[in-house]
Amino acid sequence: MISPLVLYSVSDRIATISLNRPEKRNAFNPELVSALTEALLDASDDDEVKVIILKAIGNIFSAGADLDYLQQLQQNTHEENVNDSENLKNLFTTIYYLPKVVIAQVEGHAIAGGCGLATVCDIIFAVPEANFGYTEVKLGFVPAIVSCFLMRKTGETIAKKILLTGELFSAEEALAYNLITYVTNKEEISHKVRDFALRLCEETSGNSLMVTKQLIGQTTNPGLETALNLAVQINARVRESEDFKKGIAAFLSKEKIKW
């Protein structure tokens, strides 16, 4: 059953899945991660669906982790942090391994985990006003899971620039980094995304799309599972560090962090 945190509809063999927490800037919490994973699997199992569009309600695609969720992380046991990291890994791998093409429609900022969510999709359209960024290092955290996907898209030099500085960058820069596929103005993005999805539905074999996506994933990322399992452990361990606790405490109280 689809949660109200995620909207789901099907038309013309296209499933549209929308993050629906605009009041929280579509930030992640365990419930949203679970609901989004479930919606993607439902679309995968639906014989009436050939292509999936992933978008968000409101002006922000996703701001990453929810504030209440960040606060809760500080109380988690190591086991709870491992399980929580596994759930995030499961969301990203669901998209990456899904037998159907997933198109991201990014009409607002995509930050931290939200940036990872967008860029793990197969095809990514973004408006020029959208900013991207992995800001984890500024909070004493590590972008462990998303880095496993990012490295293959951008190469090591750009990945280090993005991940080590934690700086935001524009949609045009994201395009130059090979992080996204198209930059499209706000007035046209819905039409262009749908037109792209319809062309896939009408002009390509569903089986060929599935096998080609699998081929690309398996040949470019043969060590992905090993890397992700290590990333899950690193993710959980860093959450227990003093820097993470300091960074989150300062962030929640809106104080400047002195590193």
Pairing mode of beta strands 109-111, 60-62: parallel
Segment 148-161, tens digit of pLDDT: 999 889 999 999 99
Q: What is the DSSP string of 139-163?
A: GT---HHHHHHHHHHH-HHHHHHHH
pLDDT of residue 53 exceeding 70, the answer is yes
Residue 72, pLDDT score: 81
Among residues 23, 79, 86, 136, which one is catalytic? 136
In a domain, 79, yes or no: yes
In a domain, 224, yes or no: no
* 169 pLDDT tier (thresholds 50, 70, 90): very high
Q: How far is CA 237 from CA 159, 224, 230, 254, in A?
A: 22, 20, 11, 25
In a domain, 251, yes or no: no
* 1 pLDDT tier (thresholds 50, 70, 90): low
Residue 67, pLDDT score: 77
Q: Could you give the strand order of the β-sheet that contains 60-62, starting from the edge strand earlier in sequence? A: 60-62, 109-111, 131-133, 169-170
Count structural domains, the chain.
Answer: 1
In a domain, 27, yes or no: yes
In a domain, 235, yes or no: no
**Residues 201 and 51 sit within 8 Å (Cβ to Cβ):** yes
What range does the domain containing 158 cover?
6-187
- Residue 122's φ and ψ, nearest 5 degrees, are -75, -45
In a domain, 228, yes or no: no
136 is known as an active-site residue? yes
In a domain, 111, yes or no: yes
* CATH number (domain holding residue 137): 3.90.226.10
**Residues 108 and 130 sit within 8 Å (Cβ to Cβ):** yes
Segment 181-229, tens digit of pLDDT: 999 999 999 999 999 999 999 999 999 999 999 999 888 888 899 999 9
Residues 6+ apart with CB under 8 A from 237: 78
Segment 79-124, tens digit of pLDDT: 998 999 999 999 999 999 999 999 999 999 999 999 999 999 999 9
In a domain, 232, yes or no: no
Residue 154, pLDDT score: 93
